[in-house]
């Protein structure tokens, strides 16, 4: 009985580990909101990136330790809504979409009170919530190697990258180009609820290898490099990832259309029977 109890305690302690990473993502997202309210936009953007690192690690650790659970999926989605939905929405609004900063060509100054930027920031948040809900209900019927729609950490990361790009040079920065930020926010919101395919970290390119721990170390080092060089590197890489969506979608549709019925995958791609009920992995 004591040995069973010890094994049960050890098992529960292992399950806690990936959820600690998820909680870390939640903390960074909450701290980012606080910094945005205080006008510390560069730090708020960096904290969203830290949250993205935690979010990427929780799913990886859960799979490596075989501690995936339905609880982890739900908890991860709730944390993602704050860290990658609310936090970037608050950041992008206070940074560039307030009536004083947006400066739309409206008929009269009184029309600025309409709060068009506030509506766009909310649309980003709402599309992020819809994206997370669709991800959860489609788990098990989709190819885990690809996302349907831009993953919400990707949308949040590009918002954060745009803020850091604006502050890439020392000295007092100019006011952000509100109209351009407005268009970018709308595009990101649309891409999150679109049917475009984006490559996932669970793609066979990353998972089918005999050195999982080495792969994890490489991913961590790469993420650390991105954070260090975030002000100059992250935004161009983010745009490359956005552009990859239509390309990957066309390639997959062409391959699927040219495949014979006997060669067709069971459920939206060859999932190889992988369990998709794990941590969110940047959904």
List domains and CATH numbers for the chain.
2-263 (1.20.120.1760)
pLDDT score recorded for residue 273: 36
CB atoms < 10 A from the CB of 226, how many?
18
Give pLDDT tens digits for 76-110: 889 999 999 999 999 999 999 988 887 666 655 55
Highest mean pLDDT out of 56-65, 192-201, 234-243 = 234-243
Mean pLDDT of 100-129: 78
Closest CA to 283 of 171, 85, 151, 155: 151
Q: What is the dihedral of CA 61, 66, 67, 70, to 10 degrees?
A: 110
Degrees to nearest 5, angle at CA 260 with 209 and 204: 15
Percent of the chain with pLDDT strictly greater than 70: 71
Average pLDDT, the chain: 79
Of the CA atoms within 13 Å of residue 94, those in its CB half-sphere come to 20
The distance from CA 266 to its chain's CA centroid, rounded to whole angstroms, is 27
Strand boundaries in the chain, DSSP class E:
146-148, 197-199
């Amino acid at each position: 009985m004591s040995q069973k109890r010890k094994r049960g305690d050890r098992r529960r302690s292992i399950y806690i580990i990936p959820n600690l990473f998820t909680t870390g993502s939640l903390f960074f997202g909450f701290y980012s909101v606080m910094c945005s309210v205080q006008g510390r936009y560069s730090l708020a953007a960096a904290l969203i990136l830290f949250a993205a690192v935690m979010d990427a690690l929780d799913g990886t650790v859960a799979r490596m330790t075989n501690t995936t659970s339905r609880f982890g999926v739900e908890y991860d989605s709730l944390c993602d809504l704050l860290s990658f939905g609310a936090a970037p929405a608050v950041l992008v609004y206070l940074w560039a979409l307030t009536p004083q900063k947006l400066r739309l060509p409206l008929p009269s100054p009184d029309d600025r009170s309409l709060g068009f930027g506030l509506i766009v920031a909310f649309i980003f948040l709402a599309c992020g919530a819809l994206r997370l809900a669709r991800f959860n209900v489609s788990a098990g019927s989709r190819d885990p190697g690809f996302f349907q729609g831009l993953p919400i950490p990707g949308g949040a990361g590009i918002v954060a990258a745009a803020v850091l790009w604006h502050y890439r040079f020392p000295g007092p920065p100019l006011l952000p180009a509100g109209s351009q930020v407005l268009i970018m926010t709308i595009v990101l919101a649309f891409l999150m609820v679109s049917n475009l395919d984006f490559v996932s970290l669970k793609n066979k390119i990353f998972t089918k290898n005999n050195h999982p721990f080495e792969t994890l170390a490489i991913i961590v080092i790469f993420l650390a490099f991105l954070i260090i060089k975030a002000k100059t590197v992250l935004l161009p890489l983010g745009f490359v990832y956005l552009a990859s969506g239509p390309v990957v979608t066309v390639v997959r549709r062409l391959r699927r259309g040219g495949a014979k019925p006997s060669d067709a995958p069971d459920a939206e791609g060859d999932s190889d029977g992988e369990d998709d009920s794990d941590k969110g992995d940047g959904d």
